[in-house]
Amino acid sequence: MPADSGPVHVTALTLRPATRADLPAVLALLADEARVVDPATLVVDQVYEQAFAAIDVDPRNEILVLVEGVDDQGDGGRVVGCLQVTYIPGLGKGGAERALIEAVRVRADRRGGGLGQILMERTIERARTRGCALVQLTSNKRREDAHRFYGRLGFARSHDGFKLAL
Amino acid sequence: MPADSGPVHVTALTLRPATRADLPAVLALLADEARVVDPATLVVDQVYEQAFAAIDVDPRNEILVLVEGVDDQGDGGRVVGCLQVTYIPGLGKGGAERALIEAVRVRADRRGGGLGQILMERTIERARTRGCALVQLTSNKRREDAHRFYGRLGFARSHDGFKLAL
């Protein structure tokens, strides 16, 4: 679209906290490993309703969605990426929060086009604006492609991540 | 002390949430890398007062202290270890929380005696009782001794940990 084509129907990417209406799209992204899951095919179990509500009311947790196609006609757009951020208060770093990112997802049919970078960069900027001293995340050791991606974003691969299932 | 010596002055280890009165001892442990820092020498900056208060009122964050020498005479005991736990709500794992552990410390003059193991085991049990599905943490790649310690506790070193200072 030419830059001078006027304001209508300008496709945009918006990063914003998820609302309850986004929950099927978010769960579809979480379920979508290799191919797109249609949110319309999902039944939202009550346990996920409750988990979403718990995140939604917590001032130190949020699910952010990257929405494509929001335009000035009021089109609601389509969720093409998501992640969860937990803002952790602490006694180090002058009492500043750190931002922990979990569950980064980009729609299977939209990977490789830079959406992940936009999702991460805007999330990092949001954490910076909030006053966080650090952004941290872990990534499975098998995900070498993801590790290069986080390296390009400026992250240092300085730690090992340990998990214990209960 | 003989096991039949009666109930008085039995030295014990207690894991409990830190109170404001523990803050100097906790800050001393955080400052103590190679040698013991005397809590009495610390001036508690207002920024740490505020950070502690933020953690204290947050139902999903707590600083736990391992206290030695609590006895039935009401002796307040001495803080020999601490860590911070963040309970993270999420949309995975059936909506269960995961427990993130940060800032694990044992007093420099008490390391190697099993206190770290007790600190971690009781924290894991606390997370299990709360209903968490997972306990997770990261450890600097240079800390091979710590990695063996977490391995013995049952943790899988499955992830790489990435940090970005803001």
DSSP structure string for A116-148: HHHHHHHHHHHHHHHT-SEEEEEEETT-HHHHH
Under an 8 A CB cutoff, do A51 and B162 touch? no
Banded model confidence at residue A92, pLDDT cuts 50, 70, 90:
confident
Predicted pLDDT of residue B41: 85
Banded model confidence at residue A125, pLDDT cuts 50, 70, 90:
very high
Residue numbers of chain B with a pLDDT score lower than 50: 1-6, 8-9
For CA atoms A141, A144, A148, A153, give the dihedral sign: negative
Rounded distance between C-alpha atoms, residue A8 and residue A74, angstroms: 10
Q: Is B153 on the interface with A (CB under 8 A)?
A: yes
Helix (H) or strand (E) run with residue B54 in it: helix B46-57
Predicted pLDDT of residue B2: 45
Residue B166: closest CA among A84, A87, A15: A87
What token pair was written down for B72?
A: 């039935």
Predicted pLDDT of residue B70: 66
Rounded distance between C-alpha atoms, residue B89 and residue A26, angstroms: 15
| Residues B3-28: tens digit of each pLDDT | 444 454 456 899 999 999 999 999 99
| Residues A34-64: tens digit of each pLDDT | 788 888 888 888 999 999 999 999 999 999 9
Banded model confidence at residue A2, pLDDT cuts 50, 70, 90:
very low
Predicted pLDDT of residue B72: 56
Rounded distance between C-alpha atoms, residue B87 and residue B96, angstroms: 10
Q: Model's pTM, two decimal places? A: 0.90
Residue in A51, A124, A154 closest to B90 by CB: A51
Banded model confidence at residue A69, pLDDT cuts 50, 70, 90:
confident
What token pair was written down for A131?
A: 């006053």
B window 1-40, beta carbon within 8 A of A: 26-27, 30
Mean pLDDT of A85-93: 94
Predicted pLDDT of residue B154: 98
Under an 8 A CB cutoff, do B132 and A162 touch? no
Q: How far is B14 from chain A (nearest CA, A)?
A: 22
Residue in chain B lying closest to A84 (CA): B90
Under an 8 A CB cutoff, do A30 and B134 touch? no
Q: Is B160 on the interface with A (CB under 8 A)?
A: yes
**B66 burial via Cβ count (<10 Å: 0-12, 13-18, 19+):** buried
Comparing A74 with A139, the larger pLDDT belongs to: A139
CA atoms within 13 A on the CB side of A162: 21
Under an 8 A CB cutoff, do B133 and A88 touch? no
Residues of A in contact with B92 (CB under 8 A): 30, 103
Helix (H) or strand (E) run with residue B134 in it: strand B134-140
Residue written as token pair 């196609």 = A69
Under an 8 A CB cutoff, do B92 and A86 touch? no
CA A145 and chain centroid, separation: 18
Q: How far is B161 from chain A (nearest CA, A)?
A: 4
Judge contact between A30 and B90, C-beta under 8 A.
Answer: no
Rounded distance between C-alpha atoms, residue B64 and residue B122, angstroms: 10
ipTM score of complex: 0.89
Predicted pLDDT of residue A72: 56
Under an 8 A CB cutoff, do B150 and A162 touch? yes
Banded model confidence at residue A3, pLDDT cuts 50, 70, 90:
very low
Q: How far is B2 from chain A (nearest CA, A)?
A: 36
